[in-house]
């Protein structure tokens, strides 16, 4: 079955870095785009970044542009999110998700564009 497993979260000081991983299984990984989202209690899930199936197309939320970098290794069925210059407002549970096929006219940052989600990994930025 389709599985997405996030890892790499943790506690980091402001200005620090973390690299999140999203390991995929149960489907043909290189056919699918992957998105990263984050969520804090009481708020809606927020789109953070997106990478197309080949890795050539990438998008970022304005709040992380220039600080986060998304990449993928199709040989390892894994997507990465390198997070630098972290801020306390980056604190959230981070999720990766698989984009649905043949869904048009919906921005990458909308959760409804995705069909499978990981369980999430906690990122806490605090001194």
Q: Look over the chain and give the mean of its residue pLDDT values, rounded to a whole number.
A: 96
Interval 2-41: pLDDT, tens? 999 999 999 999 999 999 999 999 999 999 999 999 999 9
Q: What is the mean pLDDT of residues 76-94?
A: 98
- Nearest alpha carbon to residue 67 among 6, 123, 23: 123
Q: Between the CA atoms of 59, 62, 68 and 71, what dihedral angle is there, to the nearest 10 degrees?
A: 0
pLDDT of residue 66: 97
90 pLDDT exceeds 90?
yes
């Amino acid at each position: 079955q389709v599985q997405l497993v996030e890892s790499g979260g943790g506690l980091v000081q402001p200005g620090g870095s973390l690299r999140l991983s999203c390991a995929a299984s149960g489907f043909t990984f290189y056919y699918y785009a992957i998105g990263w989202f984050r969520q804090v209690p009481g708020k809606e899930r927020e789109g953070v970044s997106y990478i197309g199936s080949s890795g050539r197309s990438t998008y970022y939320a304005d709040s992380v542009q220039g600080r986060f970098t998304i990449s993928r290794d199709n040989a390892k069925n894994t997507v990465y999110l390198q997070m630098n210059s972290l801020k306390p407002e980056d604190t959230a549970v981070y999720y990766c998700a698989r984009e649905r096929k043949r869904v048009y006219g919906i921005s990458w940052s909308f959760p409804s564009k995705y069909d499978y989600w990981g369980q999430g990994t906690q990122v806490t930025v605090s001194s």
